[in-house]
Amino acid sequence: MDDDLSTDPLLLNGTSECSDQMYIPFPLKILLVSAYFFVGVTSLIGNFLVLLVVILRRQTRTVTNLFISSVSAADLVITFVSLWATPMAFYERRWIFGEVMCYVVSAIQGASLIWAPFTLAAIAVDRYMLVSSPYKPQMSPKTSLLVIIGIWSGAFLVLTPMLEHVGYFQVGECTAFCIEFWEPTSELRLVYGICVLLIRSGLPLIVISFCHWRIATILASHGKKLQERRNTSEERSAADIKRKQRLQKLLLSMVIIFAVSSFPIDLFNVLQDIQLVYHMSIISDEGKNVLFFLCHWIAMAGCLLNPLVYAWHNDNFRAHIKNLFLSKRSSSFKTIVTNASRMDHTHSRIDAGPLNTITLLDVLDKDDVKL
């Protein structure tokens, strides 16, 4: 279940000695440390900047940006907890962080892996409703906060069975394990793990794919109308094409990052639950260890890609960060924030006005992710 590998025979094969670390060649160890360090630092900086932009500018606390902030918060939690705790426990073949951290890490790590995909699904639904029903009342920021709270609370509810089976076991003087203990029948662990996998990955991916497919269909059906409006102004035409391409890339990137980053570790965990990883005789123990680290690293890499996709390609976001950190007028921080805010246009919800003057192009113009 999730990234808890402490019930894997690969891990429990260790003895109760204090120094029973798995063997990893030194060059490979340097490579792993460097790779994890790069992902960790980049993820922390990127997601922190996303939260910083939304916190400093009240005008950006809108539906899409609040959902993006929730994704960044979940990615930060994953980076702080899973990035170091899971690999260290796997490498040490024991739990070295104490009894309290055993339960804290198990709860937060499992919940954070549910927060992000369901928030991505909420973003997809919100954008689909905005494009498909532009004249109907849209989700408000307050409603989006309730959705976020519901997602975060629901994640812990889904994890309740797992948390009831997590235990901290001391073996000898200096060895302990933080494991999911599902005896007398380990089949329950497999069934529960598959159910959580379907809920955490399958359901959000279906929702995201459907919403993005419908959005693409709607955009295609309005192609002629968009072309007519582009022909009225060459400058407007170039801007419209750029906005449409950015939206298409953003929607496609959402699905690809989510699916590609989560699939390897999900597959590894399922194979681990049915002990196929342990019984793969064609792969050496060292190879299995490297396989785990590779799958886990790919999952962690998704955390650093999210802020790049959702925010970094936005001109206003880059301008704000530049003014925030590179401005020589360090004594006028408040002015810097105000100037960056003035660069933003009205957020993605439709302004009041005659309905017959609003077209899909107006919706798309206002629906770019403004950070």
In a domain, 21, yes or no: yes
- Tell me, what's the pLDDT at 189? 80
Model confidence at 1, in pLDDT bands (50, 70, 90)?
very low
* Mean pLDDT along residues 69-74: 87
Q: Which of 358, 297, 252, 250 lies closest to 87 in space, CA to CA?
A: 297
Report residue 361's pLDDT band, with 50, 70 and 90 as the boundaries.
Answer: very low
Mean per-residue pLDDT of the chain:
74
Looking at residue 223, what is its pLDDT? 62
d(CA 216, CA 190): 37
Q: Which domain holds residue 193?
A: 9-366
Give domain status of residue 4, yes or no: no
What does the pLDDT read at residue 353? 35
Residue 359 lies in a domain: yes
Task: Of 8-17, 55-64, 148-157, 267-276, give the lowest mean pLDDT range.
Answer: 8-17
Nearest-5° angle of CA 371, CA 137, CA 355?
A: 95
pLDDT value at residue 151:
94
Indicate the SS3 state at residue 178.
strand
Residues in CB range of 178: below 8 A, 6 or more apart = 4, 6, 89, 95, 97, 102, 105, 106, 166, 167, 168
Least confident of 131-140, 156-165, 237-246: 237-246
In a domain, 310, yes or no: yes
- Region 161-190 average pLDDT: 81
Residue 3 lies in a domain: no
| Segment 114-125, tens digit of pLDDT | 888 898 899 889
Residue 2 lies in a domain: no
Q: Distances from the Cα of 53 to the Cαs of 93, 207, 339, in angstroms?
A: 40, 28, 13
- pLDDT for res 10: 43
Torsion sign over Cα 82, 88, 91, 94:
negative
Q: Does 319 fall in a domain?
A: yes
175-180 vs 166-171, strand pairing mode? antiparallel
Q: Point out the least confidently predicted range of 232-241, 252-261, 312-321, 358-367.
A: 358-367
Query: Mean of the pLDDT values across residues 97-102?
Result: 88
236 and 196 in contact (C-beta within 8 Å)?
no
Length of the chain in terms of residues written: 371
Q: Residue 56 is part of a domain; what is its CATH number?
A: 1.20.1070.10
The verdict on residue 371 lying in a domain is: no
**pLDDT digits 0-9 by tens, 180-235:** 887 766 678 888 888 888 888 889 889 988 988 888 787 777 665 656 555 555 45
**CA–CA gap between residue 97 and residue 105 (Å, rounded):** 10
Number of domains in the chain: 1
What's the pLDDT score for residue 235? 52
